Chain A
Amino acid sequence: MSALGSAFGWLERFCHNYGPKIGRSTIVIVLLALWLPIVLVVVMSFAADGVLSFPPDNLTLEWYFVFLENDAAISSVFTTMKVSLVATPITVALATMLSYGVSRYDFRGKSAIQGLVTLPIIVPLIVVGVALALFFGMINVGGGFWSVVAAHVVRTIPFAALIILPTFMTFDRSLEEASKDLGANELETFWNVTLPNIMPAIVAGGILAFTVSFNEFIYTYFVRGTGMETMPIYLWSRIQHNVTPEVNVLSVVFLVVAILLVLVAVLLTNISRLTMRS
C-alpha cells in the first residue's frame, strides 16, 4: 500500500516538474511524424537525380515538366476528381437523409443504427473490396466509372454519418417548432432553420468523405475493371516499375489538388462563420 502510495507520489511530482516539457515534446514528435514524410516528398519532387536519395544534390523542376507531358498521369488526376466530386454529394445526401430519419422517427432497432452505419469502418477493406467486385460481377455490372463511384459511396458513408448523425441527434428541435409556429411549413422549416444549423456538420462530413474518397485505393482497385485509373491506382502502378522523382511530383500534385478542393469547399460554404455561430 505504502509502496503504491509512494509510487503515486513520485509520479505526481514527476508530472508536476516535467509535465510542460513532456507536453511540448509530445507535440513536436507527433507533428514531425505527421509532416516530415510530406515535407520529404515535396523536397524530393525537386531532386535532380533519377534516384531517391536524401538530401538531393541538385534541385530541378525537370520532373514537373515530365509530369505535365504525361497524359496518363494527368488524366488520372481528373478521373479521381470526377469520382470524388460525384461520390461526395451522393454520400452527403444519403448520410443527411439517414440522420434526419433516425433523429425524427421512432422505429425498431433505431438505437442500433448509429453502430451499424459506422461499424463498417473497422471491417478489413480487402474483404469488402472483394465482396463489392463479386457483387458487381453477380449483377452483371462490370467495372467502370459508376461502379467506382458506388464503391466510394459505400466507403465514405460511415465517415460522413459519423459526423452528421450526432449533430442531428443533438439538434434543438424546439427551433423547428418555433419555425412552424411562425408560419413555415415542414419543407420551409428544413430549408430555413434545420439545414443552416446543421450545415457545419454536413460540410465537415462532406470534406471528410471527400478526402477519404480522394485517397481511396483498395475498393477502387477491386471494382475498377479496366481503364478506370484514379490517381492512387496510377501511383501504385508506377512504383511497381521504378521509383523516380516523378512519383513525388504526382504526390505533390495530389496533395495540392486535395487541399485546394477542400479550401474551395470551406470558402463556398462559409464554414468558419457557421461554426462560430452554432
Chain B
Amino acid sequence: MKIGKRALLLAAMLATLTMVLAACSSGTSSKDKTATAGAGGAKTPAAGATTAATKAATGAAGSITVKKGDKIKIGISTTLTTDNAELGIPIRDAALLAIKTKGTIKGFGIEGDPQDDGCAGPASVTAANKLIADGVVAVIGPMCSGGAVAALDPLSGANMLTVSASATNPSVTAQGKKNFFRTAWNDATQGAEMAKYAYTTLGKKNVVLVNDQSTYGKGLMDVFKASFTAAGGKVASEEAVTVGEKDFGPTVTKIKGESPDLVVFGGFIAEGAVLVRQLKDAGVTASFMGADGIADQKYIDQSGGAAEGSYVSRGPKPTDTKLYDAFAAAYKAEYKKDAGQFTEQATDATNIVLAAIEKVATVDGSGNLVIDRQKLIDAVAATSYAGASGQIDFDAKGDRKVVGAVNEIDQVKSGKLTRIQ
C-alpha cells in the first residue's frame, strides 16, 4: 500500500507540474504533445541537440551545402496541436503552397519541414533544435511570440534566417537578433492604435482587459493599457483566461460587476469566441474588441452569433488587393478552404526567403548548392517586396516597416469581418 500512496503522490505532482507548465507557457499541454508532433517524426532529442551544436558551429562560420540531388529544406515552425492549431495549420499550409508554387531554385527541389512549436517556449525550442538538426536553410516561424522569444536563442546561435508571419509581441525584435524578421506588424503600434480607436473614435472611457496569459495576449493588453490610460481612459480591471478552458463563468461575472463600456481581449480564437459568447449570455452589453489573434472567420463561426458587432484590429490589407486576391484564390484552389488570418503573411515570408535563397545560392564545382548564411540574412534585410499582405520592407530590428495605416479595424457585420477603418 505504501507504493500505492507513492504512485498517487507522483501522479499528483505530475498533474500539478503539467498545470503549472501549461499556465506558465500558456500553451496547453504543449509538453506532452511535443513527443507526438511534427510531420518528420521525432528523432532522439539528445542526438538532435548534438548535431545541432556541431552544425551551429560550422553554420555560424559560414554556409550550408545542399548536395546535388538533395532538396533545399525550409523549416516551418508553427502550432500543429492544441486548439491554437486552427491558426497554425493554415500558416503551415500557406508556406507549403508557396514552396510548391516556387518548385525549384537553380535546379534544386524545395521541401517544407513543418514542426509543431506548441505556441510556447519549451516546445518552440525543441522545434528549433529539430529544424537546425534537420539542416534547414531557413525557418518560417515560430508562430507565437512566447515561442519566438525562446526559440530565437538556438536559432540565432546557428545564424539561421528566421522569418515569422505571426509573432507580433514587441519583445521578439527587442532582443536585437540579427537573423530574425517578421512579416507581421509589431504590437507596440497595434496596441496603441487600438487604444486610440477605442477612446477617440468609439468614445469608450471604461474598459476591462482580458488576456490569455500568452506573451502575445498579455503584451498586447499591456500596450493597450498604457496608451488608453495615457489618453485619459480608465482600465477597470485586468482579467485573464486559461488557454484550453471553455467555461469562463467567474471571470464573466467579475467583468459584469465592473460594468465596463468595452471589453478588450488579447488572445486567440478558441478562447475569444467562447468569451464573447459567455459575456453575451451573462447579459453584458459592453462592446467587445479583439486583435489579429481572432481576426478570422472561425472566430465568428465559433461564437454562435455572439461575435456580431465586435471590433477586430488587424494588420492592414493593402489598398490594392490584386496580389491578395490572387493568393487567396490559389489557396482556395489548393486546400478547398478560405485563406485565414496570417496566411498572407506566411506566404509572403516564404516567398521572401525563397527569393533570397535564389539570390545568394551558388552552385559549386561538384554541382552542390552552397548558401552562405550571413549573405542570406543580408539579402532578406535588403528586401523590398510587394506581397499579398502589402509592401514589405524591414527596419534595422527586423520589424516590418509601417506603410500607410498601422492597422485596420474591422467590425463583425452580418457574420463577416467588414473593414470600418
Q: Do the two shown chains form a genuine complex with each other?
A: no
